[in-house]
Amino acid sequence: MAPRKRNRQLRPPRPVKRLPQALIIGVRKCGTRALLEMLYLHPMVQKASGEVHFFDRDENYALGLDWYRSKMPLSFKGQITIEKSPSYFVTPEVPERVRAMNSSVRLLLIVREPVTRAISDYTQLRSRATPSAPAHPAPPAGEAARPFEHLAITPDGSINVAYRPIAISLYHSYLHRWLEVFPREQLLVVNGDRLIEDPVPQLRRIETFLGIEHKIGRRNFYFNETKGFYCLRNDTTDKCLRETKGRKHPRVDPAVVTKLRRFFVQHNQRFYELVGEDLGWPE
């Protein structure tokens, strides 16, 4: 018996699949993919490759934690496994379900200026309605063909808060549920507009939050003039995000943008109060 035990101790460490210790919970169109890929440049980070949608889809949640774990990448002890599914943020059941898995999980919430996010969301929904992207769910019939201005503003001139791209930008209306379940310190708010302009300082904050060494630096990024965004590299990777990330947005009537920005002022304020930080979005 004794020699057998000794052999086991000599075995090199083996990677295994582990439940995530950190989640990117949203917000969609704020740079969730960019954030995950950027963090994956770090040697202590492993990522689930797709969006697993474990906590937000009842049919997946019913399959249990072993199923969820089976969707995770292999990782060595000490590495952090991260999964991102942006619809976690807006789905009411998710905070409690996440807590039931791990009450000390770290949460990353990436946000952008809400009107830009809404236009980005509209741009994505419109592109999904075209025949070149048949695999994705299409928006309600006829909606995609309509200009953003007509969808975001009702005929009587008020803001259409029932329009999903507007509703999702009301960040405070979803965040309060998370803060009822998790202490504020367990959630890091990442400024997605700053991540686009200059990723390294944002990533430094996240490395600190995740308790990992500062390893991601300027050498990991180069600006691609054609794409208009930073691309990523390390010893094993050299890539830009896909063309669905960093799309050109349609021109939106500046009067509508101004009207929407005014509408969002009070909502942004409520968000700033919840997070205890002013993100400085334009009024």
Shorter beta-carbon distance to ligand A3P: residue 234 or 269: 234
What one-character DSSP code corresponds to residue 188? E
Among the residue ranges 1-9, 24-32, 41-49, 59-67, the one whose residues contact ligand A3P (CB under 6 A): 24-32
Shorter beta-carbon distance to ligand A3P: residue 130 or 154: 130
Site membership for ligand A3P, residue 33 (CB under 6 A): yes
DSSP H/E element including 170: none
Site membership for ligand A3P, residue 32 (CB under 6 A): yes
Contact, 195 vs 27, CB < 8 A? Answer: no
Q: From the list 167, 196, 200, 274, which residue makes contact with ligand A3P (rule: CB under 6 A)?
A: 196
Site membership for ligand A3P, residue 194 (CB under 6 A): no
Reference 114, options 48, 68, 167; nearest CA is: 167
Site membership for ligand A3P, residue 220 (CB under 6 A): no
Binding residues among 225-254 for ligand A3P as defined by CB under 6 A:
229-230, 241, 245-247
Site membership for ligand A3P, residue 120 (CB under 6 A): yes
Contact letters (x/-) for ligand A3P, 86-105, by CB under 6 A? x-------------------
| Burial class of residue 274, CB neighbours in 10 A (0-12, 13-18, 19+) | middle
- Which amino acid type is present at position 97? R
Work out the number of other CB atoms within 10 angstroms of the CB of residue 16.
11
Residues written for the chain: 283
Shorter beta-carbon distance to ligand A3P: residue 172 or 245: 245
Shorter beta-carbon distance to ligand A3P: residue 13 or 137: 137
Q: Measure the CA dihedral 222/223/224/226, to 10°.
A: -170
CB of 154 to ligand A3P, least distance (A): 24
86's tokens: 């942006």
Q: From the list 22, 34, 41, 216, which residue makes contact with ligand A3P (rule: CB under 6 A)?
A: 34
Query: If you search the block for the tokens 């101790």, which residue do you land on?
Result: 9
Cα separation values, 60 from 18, 47, 107, 220, Å: 17, 19, 20, 35
Site membership for ligand A3P, residue 29 (CB under 6 A): yes
- Which residues in this chain contact ligand A3P in the complex, by CB under 6 A? 28-34, 86, 120, 123, 195-196, 229-230, 241, 245-247
